[in-house]
Structure 1
Amino acid sequence: MRISAGCQITYDCPQPTPMMLMVSPHPSRLPDLVGPHQMSFDPPIPHRDYVDGFGNTCTRIVAPAGRLTISTSFVAQDSGLPDTILPHAQQHRVEDLPDEALVYLLGSRYCDTDKLGDTAWAMFGNGPTGWARVQAICDYAHNHITFDYQRASSTRSAADAHREQVGVCRDFAHLAVTLCRCVNIPARYCTGYLGDIGMPPPYGPMDFAAWFEVYLDGAWHTFDARNNMPRIGRILMARGRDATDVAIATTFGPCTLSGFNVVTDEVTT
């Protein structure tokens, strides 16, 4: 299966504004690209890439005063298989975890473990461990939060989402990540493309998606509290502790988002 994906994002800036973009496929997906990953700017401006501390490809620019449109496009080869389910995957004791996994047990900007620790242990501390525990957390987050795109908030933390019981895909992911960390399962936040391949209509407006990965049985595994079912065609862009680490655009100055469009389609010809 081949998937055509990309985005077009437009900003209006009152003055030259440095930006950090995370709109490229994750380096782990580069071998799957069919042809180059195209990134363009209108008007044309200098840009350069670097790899951050979490292994993501970031692009640095200085947006000029006025309107800037950022466009990306690529075609990726995909297995066409849904997310893997491994119900017997076991949870590690904290003392047996690899050093690099420990940071994903800690609280972060949107994953406020200090506020949800008692809740997590009360709800999930005495039940199954490993894969079944993560799935129970996904079930809870999926049923506890009502999806409402009109009530998206860039400042809502996991504890806020738990209390307000409303949010978008990032809030489902933040809540599930936080509850996993609280019961000693390393969990990291992911963002990328996820279309409606294999799903029945009607289809909602396309956007970037958020899901998460947990460390079980010596490997990282994909879970999705928003959809709460195996999906086809995920294309990872970035991983981190939470949405702060993987923001599509981090702007260092005032600007207005005036256009946003995401495309993810199966190539059928």
Structure 2
Amino acid sequence: MNLRVGFELVFSCSQPIPMLLMLNTHSSHVDDVIEPDRLQIDPPIPLTQYHDSFGNLCSRLITPSYGYLTLSTEALLNVPDRPEEPAAENYQSPVEHLPDECMQFLLGSRYCETDLLSNTAWALFGGTPQGRPRVQAICDYVHRHIAFDYQQARPTRTAHEAYQERVGVCRDYAHLAVALCRATNIPARYCSGYISDVGLPPPYAPMDFCAWFEAYLGDRWQTFDPRNNAPRTGRVLMARGRDATDVALSNAFGPAVLVKFKVVCEPGG
């Protein structure tokens, strides 16, 4: 299935501001690309790029001194035309047998306070079977525990606060599930990107960027989505890291205000 993804972001600028952006599809989709997502900048200004320690493509620029900065892109990818299927490897490795790369994803981070949630995690899930059944039990719990509400979104809400407040958006679902997995010795990392509505009945909510997570089971990272908590068709990764701190779409080191936001993720030719 051909899937068209893209966005248009418009910032209001009052002075030159350095920005760090994470707006491209992840390199893991390189074999899926039909039309690449080259970042368009208006007005044209210099851009440099690098890959961070998590393998995410990052862009750097300095905004105009005054006026508006528009960032946009569009890509066409060939993705599976069927819902996601779980991998066969379901077992949970003992901590001492985990690859070195997994160890940082067992630790607490800015938005995932494993220390505050450890007792809760073991009380809720210590009796569940290890591996995929435990991760799915965590997803089921988070899906029920948090009420989705755009109007109560807050960029500083942590996993522990989401647990207490029982409300949030997709990043809060992901943060809480990540923290509960880590607290029960399952490596988990936060992911951001696009998710299509293919196969879902209308009405459709306005398209937005989405958050989910990956847990290390068997010998691979596997996708879990506590917000939707069901297999989806058309999921496209942009970035992954310890939590939302590592995958922020934009970091402005000064007063750059987002005034327009549009996201596209739909079947296309």
TM-score surpassing 0.5? yes
Residues 207-246 of structure 1 show CA distances to partners (whole Å, capped at 9, x for unaligned) of 0010000000010000000000000100100000000000
Match of 1:181 in 2: 182
Aligned residue number for residue 58 of structure 1: 58
SS of corresponding position for 1:245: helix
Measured in 2, the distance between the counterparts of 1:100 and 1:169 equals 26
Determine the C-alpha separation between the residues in 2 that align with 1:88 and 1:50.
33
Q: Which residue of structure 1 lines up, in the alignment, with residue 23 of structure 2?
A: 23
CA distance in 1, matches of 2:36, 2:158: 36
Matched residue SS, 2:121: helix
TM-score, length-normalised on structure 1?
A: 0.98
CA displacement at 1:88 relative to structure 2:
5.8
| In 2, Cα distance between equivalents of 1:261 and 1:9 | 7
Query: What residue identity is the alignment partner of 2:166?
Result: Q
Please state if 1:199 is matched with 2:216.
no
Shift of 1:37: 2.0
1:163 and 1:52, CA in 2 relative to 1: closer, same or farther beyond 3 A? same
Judge conservation of contact 1:189–1:242 (CA < 8 Å) in 2: yes
- The answer for the alignment partner of 2:256 in structure 1 is 255
- C-alpha deviation, 1:103, in angstroms: 0.3
Aligned equivalent of 1:151: 152
99-108 vs 88-97, greater mean Cα deviation: 88-97
One-letter amino acid of the counterpart of residue 50, structure 2: Y
Give the deviation of 1:38 after TM superposition.
2.4
Residue 114 (str. 1) matches residue 105 (str. 2): no
Q: CA deviation at 1:63?
A: 1.0
- Decide which moves more: 219-228 or 87-96: 87-96
Cα pair distance change 1:31/1:87, threshold 3 Å: closer
* 8 Å contact from structure 1 (residues 3, 76) kept in 2: yes
Moved over 4 A (4+): none
Contact 2:89 2:219 in 1 (8 A): no
The residue type paired with residue 75 of structure 1 is L
Aligned amino acid, residue 157 of structure 1: T
Distance 2:82 2:242 in 1: 27
Unaligned runs of 5+ in 1: none
Report the Cα distance in structure 1 between the residues aligned to 2:256 and 2:61, rounded to whole angstroms: 14
Change (3 A) 1:87 1:128: farther
Alpha-carbon contact 2:178-2:190 (below 8 Å) kept? yes
CA distance in structure 1 between the aligned counterparts of 2:29 and 2:5, rounded to whole angstroms: 13
* C-alpha contact (below 8 Å) 1:86/1:131 kept by paired residues: no
Superposition map of 1:34-113 within 5 A: 34-65=34-65, 66-86=67-87, 89-113=90-114
User: RMSD across aligned C-alpha pairs, in angstroms?
Assistant: 1.0
Distance 2:210 2:182 in 1: 21
- 1:215 corresponding residue in structure 2: 216
What is the CA–CA distance in structure 2 between the aligned matches of 1:187 and 1:34, rounded to whole Å?
30
Residue 13 (structure 1) shift: 1.8
- Where 2:237 maps in the other structure, the secondary structure is strand
Aligned residue for 1:76, secondary structure, equals: strand
* Number of residue equivalences: 268
Partners of 2:89 and 2:218 within 8 A in 1: no
TM-score, scaled to structure 2 = 0.98
